[in-house]
Structure 1
Amino acid sequence: MSWCCVVVSRFRIPTFRDVCVARRIVSRYLKPTPLVYSRKASRILGCDVYFKLENLQPVRAFKVRGGVYYMYRMREEAARRGVVTASTGNHAQSIAYAGSLFGVDVKIVMPHGVPQIKIEAVKDLGAEVIIHGSYFEESRMFAERLAEEKGYLFVHSINEPLLYEGVGSMHLEVLEELPDVDVVINPLGGGSGVASGCIVYKTVDPSIMVFAVQAEGAPAFYESWRRGELVDLGRVSTRAEGLAAGRA
């Protein structure tokens, strides 16, 4: 059995109820973000367009919802063992921010070439940054080795259900403000935003269409969908380093 198959078999698929439970916790620490109507985008596209302003979150990204919920649920074990993860940016800041909330020691492994501004942002949140690897997958494997050798709690940026459940709170907020939404478009990097959206929208109204947009230079999920099997692209190339996932 391949490594990918082992990971998939262990993944607990979150439910709509899980997301609703997470939302109650997330709302204690993070305020709802605005859903704003864009007159210009609506005129250009010929339909009503709204933007969910997750850039107003403390780390300027929706991933902080997952980080906060994960750290809340794992706070006792995380405080005892410390946490390590790998990221090119947004997930790193999410876990670092959550660690600062709950008094958890956090180490982030990032690949060479990550913008210095992202490295400094993670450090400013109190986490230790370790630079290792030329691309994300090398950083992830190194972080897993650190966890095994040092006893840290490893947070997988993709295969961790608690992250999806926390992120799903964003989509519940959308439905509360715009219950008649027809289409939702999400960027696709690791998949927590899109997958949690599918859980929420397809449960409430299966007719809601969810689209995932992936960087052309990092199309791991697209290629996996097209080929009908999990694809590991290894090194990827895109200026959108926050979406640079080489493995589905």
Structure 2
Amino acid sequence: MYNEGERLEDGDGGDGDYAVTPQDVFAARARLAGVVHRTPFKGSRTLSERFGASIYLKLENLQRTGSYKIRGAYNKLATLPEPQRARGVIAASAGNHAQGVAWSARTFGVPCIIVMPETAPLAKIQATESYGARVVLHGKGYDDAYEHALRLAEREGYTFVHAFDDPAVIAGQGTVAVEMWEDVKDLDLVLVPVGGGGLISGIAVALKFLRPDVRVVGVQAQGAPALALSFRAGRRIVLSDVHTIADGIAVRAPGEITFRLIRDLVDDFVVVRETDIVRAISFALEREKLLLEGAGAVTLAALLAAADALGVRGKTVGLVLSGGNIDLTRLSTLLARAAQDEEERKGETPPSPAPERTSRDAPEVHEISP
């Protein structure tokens, strides 16, 4: 299925020698106070009764710009020296990171360029432009946009803001965990959506300090399981391609910094199917009255499909619902698909198995360069 990737040097980022510390997360929390929303960590009676557990939902879909990404973006800009920040910032993204960086740049009053693939949805282009960023369309996918953004950063003298593999970004994302712990201190298990690993890295750094016994489990989509596979292999690997409705976590390779943190601090991964994600989006809207995008629904998908495997009964469980930016046309299509799937489940079709810990149908994987 895949070739082994680069094996990181023993001890590189291990034994507590991390690029991000709990103190970095706490400092980020102070910077973000009064800037981002302190989102609700809401108990779900429906889910708690269904699974015999205390289930709490961290509603980052209610965050400014509609996702947690603003936390890391703002913290990154806040930690830049003022002259460097004033020259401008640049990022590559077709989604939530773009809006987080654009909003933060507007707040600081600095120039901002966002490079998006030419295939980016018009709604996301317009949303990013509404925050004052200059959007540049380049290439067929994220990789093309990323490389072009790096070239522009060098040419214009702008600072590149990575979506996940940056200590300040990771620390900002980790503030989600601090709020969760402040609200519910006896957490036994936390489920976190994972793409490149910035969110789960920050959460693990903070939670393992505040509550060492908590289990932190990452959730990936079956069509984009780069970090789940890397976690199992013990080394970073890169996928040839990714395909998932959870486009916010459709990442081909984990970051260097994030992988080291995840390798040492995260307890496990589960991989959910597309049908489970669709079901979770529908369930959230119908039962919890919450609008979620695909990436924001994967933790709920894991709970609905694999509660027994996760061992949630009798536990206090937190689910990070990371975002709610979904196109209404796409939402309509997915809800219709969920209704059809539900009708099939009510018929003679036997229930499908729970999500696997790794994906049998994962995309081809190649060796990653150092």
- TM-score normalized by the length of structure 2: 0.62
Does the alignment pair 1:95 with 2:105?
no
Contact 1:220/1:231 (<8 A) preserved = yes
Structure 1 CA distance, aligned partners of 2:60 and 2:238? 29
Report the equivalent of 2:65: 59
Deviation at 1:72, TM superposition (A): 1.3
Structure 1 CA distance, aligned partners of 2:62 and 2:245? 22
Which SS does the other structure have where 1:169 is aligned? helix
Which SS does the other structure have where 2:135 is aligned? strand
Report the equivalent of 2:242: 236
Contact 1:137/1:246 (<8 A) preserved = no
Counterpart selection for 1:151 from 157, 164, 186: 157
Identity of aligned residues (%): 37
Which SS does the other structure have where 2:153 is aligned? helix
Deviation at 1:122, TM superposition (A): 0.5
Counterpart selection for 2:87 from 78, 81, 98: 81
Report the equivalent of 1:193: 199
Report the equivalent of 1:181: 187
Deviation at 1:246, TM superposition (A): 0.9
Counterpart selection for 1:166 from 165, 172, 178: 172
Deviation at 1:3, TM superposition (A): 10
Opposite residue 152 of structure 2, the aligned amino acid is L
Structure 1 CA distance, aligned partners of 2:145 and 2:114? 9
Is the radius of gyration larger for structure 1 or structure 2? 2
Opposite residue 113 of structure 2, the aligned amino acid is K
Structure 2 CA distance, aligned partners of 1:186 and 1:22? 20
Matches within 5 A, 1:12-23: 13-23=19-29
1:195-228 Cα shifts (integer Å, max 9, x gaps)? 1111011112221001111121111111212222
Report the equivalent of 2:35: 29
Report the equivalent of 1:122: 128
- TM-score normalized by the length of structure 1: 0.91
Report the equivalent of 1:139: 145
Contact 2:165/2:198 (<8 A) preserved = no
The 1:12–1:104 alpha-carbon spacing in structure 2 relative to 1, beyond 3 Å, is farther
Contact 1:136/1:245 (<8 A) preserved = no
Opposite residue 106 of structure 1, the aligned amino acid is C
Report the equivalent of 1:39: 45
Higher relative contact order by CA 8 Å / sep ≥ 6: 1 or 2? 2
Counterpart selection for 2:215 from 209, 217, 224: 209
Superposed CA RMSD in Å reads 2.2
Which SS does the other structure have where 1:85 is aligned? strand
Contact 1:66/1:164 (<8 A) preserved = yes
Deviation at 1:78, TM superposition (A): 4.3
Please identify, of 129-138 and 155-164, the stretch whose mean Cα deviation from structure 2 is larger.
129-138
Please identify, of 225-234 and 20-29, the stretch whose mean Cα deviation from structure 2 is larger.
225-234
Aligned residues: 244
Deviation at 1:162, TM superposition (A): 0.4
Report the equivalent of 2:251: 245
Deviation at 1:108, TM superposition (A): 0.8
